[in-house]
Amino acid sequence: MIRILAVDDEKPIAELLRMTLSRAGYSCVCAYDGIEAANLIEKETFDLILLDIMLPGIDGFELMDYIRATGIPVIFLTAKNAVSDRVKGLRMGAEDYMVKPFDVLELLARVDGVLHRHGKLQTNLQVGGLLINTLSMQVLRDGKEIPLTRKEYELLLLFAQNVGVVLSKMTIYERVWGGEYPENTRTVELHIQRMKKKVGWDERIKPVYGMGYRLEGDA
């Protein structure tokens, strides 16, 4: 799974990034200052970094000097909107530069674009007789498109990217709907039932007693 590091000292923004990226099928780790981010980059592997500039400890420009040697692509995501800052960030080697406040759909489009340029994102997934195009969000079986709602598509993509993995109802809810899993709800079960019937996965998505659901791989 694609791993993204979001570096922002404003925790509500960092949490928004984590939720947005998780719902899009990415794994997102947050750091709240430059030193914490540097330590994570040294110890762990990331495919992309979303980097604020005004950070405690080490600011984003200083951190960029360190990141550049690792080859990890960077998108600056900051409130600094001066042209001089944009030019500096791009000249330092950043792939892109976005100014806060940002639109989450635009952010995801730019993230996808950078990952594609670096060959890290698979555009087409072939799972269980389906062809899933993650750019157009189209789902095809035998060349015919299957109409899905946005939530059904996000649910399908989550399973397709985690074949053989048991996904708890709590995990599914957090990744697709966002927020904490509410008690006494059948939202997850009902959406799974509708989605798997539409795509012909009645026998592929299996309930795992007391744990959640698992998409079986091709035999």
Conformational region of residue 37, where left means phi above 0, alpha means psi within -120 to 50, and beta covers everything else: alpha
What is the pLDDT, as a whole number, of residue 99?
94
Conformational region of residue 57, where left means phi above 0, alpha means psi within -120 to 50, and beta covers everything else: left
The mean of the pLDDT values for the chain is 90
User: What parts of the chain have a pLDDT lower than 50?
Assistant: none
CATH no. of 124-215: 1.10.10.10
Question: Does an H or E element contain 14, and which?
Answer: helix 11-23
What is the pLDDT, as a whole number, of residue 97?
96
Between helix 83-91 and helix 60-68 the angle, nearest 10°, is 20
What is the pLDDT, as a whole number, of residue 163?
86
Burial of 166 (0-12, 13-18, 19+ CB in 10 A): middle
pTM exceeds 0.85, yes or no: no
All structural domains of the chain with their residue ranges: 3-117, 124-215
Distance CA 171, CA 158 (A): 10
What pLDDT digit, counting tens, does each position of 81-127 carry?
A: 999 999 999 999 999 999 999 888 889 889 988 988 887 776 788 88
State whether CATH 3.30.930.10 applies to domain 3-117. no
What is the pLDDT, as a whole number, of residue 122?
67
